Structure 1
Amino acid sequence: MRLSATDTLHLKEALQNAVVKCSERCLYQSAKWAAELLDSVPDPVLSDLDQKEAVAGLQGYQHPAVSANPDPVEAELEAKELSKYLLAKSFFDCKEFDRCASVFLPDSLLSGLLSTKATDATTPKGKAKASSAPPYEQALPSLSQKSLFLALYAKVISGEKKKNEESEMIMGPQDLGTIKNSHLVVVSRFLERWFAERKAEDSDLPPSQGFLEYLYGMVMVKEKNEDAALDYLLNSVHLFPWNWGAWLELTNLISGVEQLNKITPVLPQNIMSFIFYANTAVNLYQQGQDLAASVNDLLKLFPTSSFILTCRALLNYHSKDLYTAEQNFSNLLALHPHRLDSLDHYSNILYVLNMRPKLAFLAHLCSSIDKFRPESCVVIGNYYSLLSLHEKAVQYFRRALTLDRSCLSAWTLMGHEYVELKNTHAAIESYRRAVDVNRRDYRAWYGLGQTYEVLEMNSYALYYYKKAAGLRPWDGKMWQAVGSCLQKMGKDRDGIKALKRALLADSYYDSTLSSFGSAGPADRMAQMDPEVLLQIASMYDRLGEVEEARAYMELCVAQEDGGATDNADASAVCTSNPGESFVVHGDSPGSDGDAEGGYEGRGGAGQGEGTGVTVATSKARMWLARYAMRTEDYVTANRLATELCQDGVEVEEAKALIREVRSRMELADLTER
């Protein structure tokens, strides 16, 4: 993807305008995002003709901050309200949100506007004039859209602040997660009237600029009206596509790849839609060469963009290519050493890879930059967790949630810490709160499954494991948990299907890693988890299907040498009965981060070199030895039992088996004589 010099100049101009417009409305995160993206756009190389055009354009250039609104009605209103607007914005900047809202919308005005219902609701039936009465007695105030947005947005922020204050301490007796933002009803009803006036057939009001649609969509998301919110947010990005906050709200509403592909054709056709699609796909844990190519194309346009570089690192992280992800985050930190955004994900990677010195450095760096940022608290909490100081880790995760109750990583990681502390009740509550923040967070569903499995409530555990597997259908760890739970419940047939899918899922991830250029074996199908193979074989044994059990036991033993069995046989065993598929709840596909804080595999170290002797392979070898005894194959039984004595696992039982084999062989020789 390449842009001409003219297109690059237009892109920079649009981003400059976005920074100003978002800043005017106190959308600071969206303004920061646009400014960072603007800074990463390289200056175009202009030809002589383009250079002359650029110079001519600069001579008549007017900064977006002082340029007039193109709509004459809005421009006149903004000019009249300038003094009040500057006063309201100064109040907002000083975090006096109620004072900011009252500059344009005092409480007396709002109560009068929203309490006066239609006169036909109070007029007695039979009065002819009731049907022709206006819908409301009091008209909305004549305000510019910029001032109206600022006032209503301040009202929403004030309600969120009061809600957090009333909730008291995190996980305290009053923190039930049931307290609502009391200002949402006021803002929602006001905007409902505002949009109704513009949809009227005889309306001559100026068209909307897109920011109030964004605010209304955000309010409806908080009110759990997601379908209507989606419509208004789509309208918002069509009217003003450079507000990154609206795109983020859309991302949070997308429940899966199917929905993402469904709304893609109705998005505005510009660079923002491309960035949105790539970011949403990464958040839905998608992998593949197409997505990686899309992210690389964006990096060609924005080579130093911290946001795009973070997307690339998270893409590797979700693909379980942890070492590449760590390297990408390290390069990003070197490029932007004072940026704290997404460093909680980096700390998760360092935790999983057990890179204690780097995690200690990261915790010290975050603390020195801003110790009261949620990301800093999560990083420090992960460091204490790696030191097995779980109480201290919980303390910092609580601090992160005090600063931002919607910090998803902190809720999930705090649940992990409570599991380590054997406080299952608090762990369950933490995971449930994480799910409330984001129902696509498979880590929280998986944590709930593990906690209920510890409590031996297997039916509940199975339900939550299925949810996690539905969110990560190509993660073998999820399917292994489903299969193990089914095994405990005595549902061996379904358990076998789930564990077979776990084997296929692991091979999928390895093929994905190789597509990203990571080193790895080409034929990973023969290298499988011996624990999973042993479980499948054991369930086949209980079902009485001895030949299937023997095949999986042999495959399990073969993993000691890197799966050095016949690859065709391995593939045939793994994919036998391809029609078998285990159905999971598919109503919530897709969500953020890998299984953090100890629930993630250690990466691909040593893959393709064999597992060596493990407890699983020794148990499989013992089963095969006993099977050989039952089939009177005493030579094989003796060889396997001798190997067990060398393994150092189940040695005494192996010696007893050798004695029995030799006695039977001697008895067989005497019988032949």
Structure 2
Amino acid sequence: MGLSPKDSLQLKEVLQTAVVKCSERCLYQSAKWAAELLDALPEPDLDTMSEAPGSHVHPVFAPNPDPAEADREAQEVGRYLLAKSYFDCKEFERCAAVFLPEPLLASLLATNPNETTNPKGKGKAKAIAAFSSGYTLPEISQKSMFLALYAKVIAGEKHKDEDTEMVMGPQDSGSVINKQLVVVSRFLSKWFAQRKANDGDYPASQGFLEYLYGMVLAKEKNDNLALDYLMQSVRLFPWNWGAWLEITNLVSRVEQASSTGPSSLRLLLNEIARHLPQNIMSFIFHINAAVNLYQQGPGLASSLNGLLGIFPTSSFLLTCKALLYYHSKDLFAAEQEFNKVLALHPQRLDSLDHYSNILYVLNRRPKLAFLAHLCSNIDKFRPESCVVIGNYYSLLSLHEKAVQYFRRALTLDRSCLSAWTLMGHEYVELKNTHAAIESYRRAVDVNQRDYRAWYGLGQTYEVLEMHAYALWYYKKAAGLRPWDSKMWQAVGSCLQKMGRDRDGIKALKRALLADSYYDTAAAAV
């Protein structure tokens, strides 16, 4: 797959615009992702372009097409720069207060103008009703509103981490919530309601507030409504990778029988893809989502190679290719792909926890030691670095030390899936089944598609000779990896221990069939 010089220049410009727009709103991870993809795009041949030098105006410098928004942004430029400087200095509450001071938000949430608290019980319903009608939202630009509300969400996450007990401590129930989500959710609900026209359509929007509302709704477990707003966001501005990742997190599987009903179909990859904009971003999203759902096959490999033809040195796409080999059980090819990524981007720590898993399984002790030292020298307080070091200690059978580093990774990021799962493995080695079960359960809470956590739960309950529980978890793992012989062998073994020999034989036959499938899939990649 290749692009003409004109298409390559247009793609370069939209990626540059994406970096600037995401950076303006402090979406740093999305800006980094777009910048890395931009860096992997070969320079277009400008000699073939017909435009005279200096005659082209870059989209970044084009004025806002909405005159009202352009006027608001011009009037707010001083306050916007102040708010962004506060955000960059991690003073999130001060950032939000520049445009949305606390008294204003309190008055919007109160039952009457003189009440600034949000009471419980019946008063709470009155507060919601008062917020829905009777007060108008401030007239500020969408960019400033996004920055203020996003700062509120980040401040809530910061306070949530501060209120959370020590990882796996006696009081760590995982039930602490972000208290700012309800404020941001109600604010955006009213904002969208006010902008809704009589025919049900919204006036022109930039797509970022839809992304923020979808992200908040997803955190509140309102998946269907979250998906609606996230899909609106990627239609309005398809270059925000964070919105695509939120959609990926909502996808449950690739496809499913129609008998499950329309509500569940909305969370299936093939169904969602029909409603997405047809551009290169939806193409990248589909590949990334398929890899996250442990898919293999020549079609997926061909699509990924086509994208690598456009972005030959993209660390993200090369990592996707490595994970594709990994899920196809071709660990040697996966190791080679990660070696290539490490050679091209030696300071990049993203996804190196997956690389360390591969080195651990292949028993590459010197390479894993080198990787652990590399990560420690670059940034020892990144969750990925802690997971890599934990894997190294696990390979040395220093399981207590490994648990210590996995705990450190979770202290830095409670949503680090690898750390939860791997810590469960270490607790199994230490014969601490209670802690292992809790670790695996927390991993499933982070991502219900993690078959390794479901399989770990099955193993742990099998050790406890609770075969009915073990069978249920093994079946969950097998449902996520239907062509993995290891999953079906566990199901078959558990069935035989329960005296269900005929069903056990069927499961073991399925395991034999699965082995041949992965041999074919690995060859296709």
TM-score range, shorter chain: over 0.9
Aligned residue in 2 for 1:429: 438
Instruction: Report how many aligned residue pairs link the two structures.
Output: 497
Aligned residue in 2 for 1:61: 57
The amino acid across from 1:211 in the alignment is F
How far apart in 1 are the matches of 2:201 and 2:243? 27
Are 1:197 and 2:194 counterparts? yes
Distance 1:142 1:358, change over 3 A: same
The amino acid across from 1:100 in the alignment is C
How far apart in 1 are the matches of 2:386 and 2:368? 13
Give the counterpart of 1:179 among 172, 176, 181.
Answer: 176
Give the counterpart of 1:488 among 494, 497, 517.
Answer: 497
Aligned residue in 2 for 1:609: none
Give the counterpart of 1:165 among 157, 162, 165.
Answer: 162
Give the counterpart of 1:219 among 216, 219, 234.
Answer: 216
Q: Secondary structure at the match of 1:101?
A: helix
How far apart in 2 are the matches of 1:17 and 1:116? 43
Q: Secondary structure at the match of 2:209?
A: helix
Distance 1:342 1:172, change over 3 A: same
Given that residues 116 and 136 in structure 1 are in contact (C-alpha distance below 8 angstroms), is that contact kept between their aligned partners in structure 2?
no
How far apart in 2 are the matches of 1:401 and 1:466? 28
Distance 1:422 1:20, change over 3 A: same
Distance 1:111 1:360, change over 3 A: same
How far apart in 2 are the matches of 1:13 and 1:99? 34
Distance 1:456 1:317, change over 3 A: same
How far apart in 2 are the matches of 1:116 and 1:32? 42
Aligned residue in 2 for 1:145: 142
| CA displacement at 1:208 relative to structure 2 | 1.4
The amino acid across from 1:416 in the alignment is H
Q: Secondary structure at the match of 1:257?
A: coil
How far apart in 1 are the matches of 2:372 and 2:330? 23
How far apart in 1 are the matches of 2:200 and 2:299? 46
Give the counterpart of 1:101 among 92, 96, 103.
Answer: 96
| CA displacement at 1:60 relative to structure 2 | 4.3
Give the counterpart of 1:285 among 284, 287, 294.
Answer: 294
Are 1:380 and 2:389 counterparts? yes
Distance 1:253 1:117, change over 3 A: farther
Are 1:43 and 2:60 counterparts? no
| CA displacement at 1:206 relative to structure 2 | 5.0
| CA displacement at 1:134 relative to structure 2 | 11
Are 1:340 and 2:349 counterparts? yes
How far apart in 2 are the matches of 1:359 and 1:316? 19
Q: How does 1:258-407 map to 2 (within 5 A)?
A: 258=255, 259-407=268-416
How far apart in 1 are the matches of 2:131 and 2:429? 63
Task: State the TM-score, normalized to the length of structure 1.
Answer: 0.72
How far apart in 2 are the matches of 1:174 and 1:268? 46
Distance 1:204 1:359, change over 3 A: closer
Q: Secondary structure at the match of 2:274?
A: helix
Deviations 1:333-353 (A, max 9, x none): 000000000000000000000
Are 1:239 and 2:239 counterparts? no
Deviations 1:365-423 (A, max 9, x none): 00000000000000000000000000000000000000000000000000000000000
How far apart in 1 are the matches of 2:382 and 2:429? 25
Distance 1:205 1:450, change over 3 A: closer
How far apart in 1 are the matches of 2:375 and 2:132? 55
Given that residues 19 and 31 in structure 2 are in contact (C-alpha distance below 8 angstroms), is that contact kept between their aligned partners in structure 1?
yes
Given that residues 117 and 136 in structure 1 are in contact (C-alpha distance below 8 angstroms), is that contact kept between their aligned partners in structure 2?
no
How far apart in 1 are the matches of 2:176 and 2:201? 40
Higher CA-based Rg: 1
The amino acid across from 1:437 in the alignment is V
Distance 1:511 1:60, change over 3 A: closer
Given that residues 362 and 379 in structure 1 are in contact (C-alpha distance below 8 angstroms), is that contact kept between their aligned partners in structure 2?
yes
Distance 1:377 1:88, change over 3 A: same
The amino acid across from 1:263 in the alignment is I
| CA displacement at 1:513 relative to structure 2 | 1.8
Are 1:19 and 2:28 counterparts? no
How far apart in 1 are the matches of 2:293 and 2:157? 27
| CA displacement at 1:512 relative to structure 2 | 1.4
Given that residues 301 and 524 in structure 2 are in contact (C-alpha distance below 8 angstroms), is that contact kept between their aligned partners in structure 1?
no
The amino acid across from 1:77 in the alignment is R
Given that residues 117 and 135 in structure 1 are in contact (C-alpha distance below 8 angstroms), is that contact kept between their aligned partners in structure 2?
no
Give the counterpart of 1:88 among 83, 86, 98.
Answer: 83
How far apart in 1 are the matches of 2:432 and 2:10? 56
State the identity as a percent.
Answer: 75
Aligned residue in 2 for 1:515: 524
Deviations 1:272-313 (A, max 9, x none): 010000111111111010000000000000001000000000
Deviations 1:567-601 (A, max 9, x none): xxxxxxxxxxxxxxxxxxxxxxxxxxxxxxxxxxx
Distance 1:336 1:204, change over 3 A: closer
How far apart in 2 are the matches of 1:225 and 1:235? 16
Deviations 1:156-196 (A, max 9, x none): 01111111111121011221011111111000000000000
| CA displacement at 1:68 relative to structure 2 | 2.2
Given that residues 317 and 325 in structure 1 are in contact (C-alpha distance below 8 angstroms), is that contact kept between their aligned partners in structure 2?
yes
How far apart in 1 are the matches of 2:415 and 2:378? 22
How far apart in 2 are the matches of 1:194 and 1:455? 53
Unaligned runs of 5+ in 1: 119-132, 517-673
The amino acid across from 1:181 in the alignment is N
Aligned residue in 2 for 1:28: 28
Q: Secondary structure at the match of 1:266?
A: coil
Deviations 1:460-514 (A, max 9, x none): 0000000000000000000000000000000111111111000000111111122
Task: State the TM-score, normalized to the length of structure 2.
Answer: 0.92
Given that residues 117 and 137 in structure 1 are in contact (C-alpha distance below 8 angstroms), is that contact kept between their aligned partners in structure 2?
no
| CA displacement at 1:200 relative to structure 2 | 3.5
Give the counterpart of 1:442 among 448, 451, 455.
Answer: 451
Give the counterpart of 2:513 among 500, 504, 522.
Answer: 504
| CA displacement at 1:46 relative to structure 2 | 4.2
Aligned residue in 1 for 2:74: 79
The amino acid across from 2:11 in the alignment is L
Are 1:2 and 2:11 counterparts? no
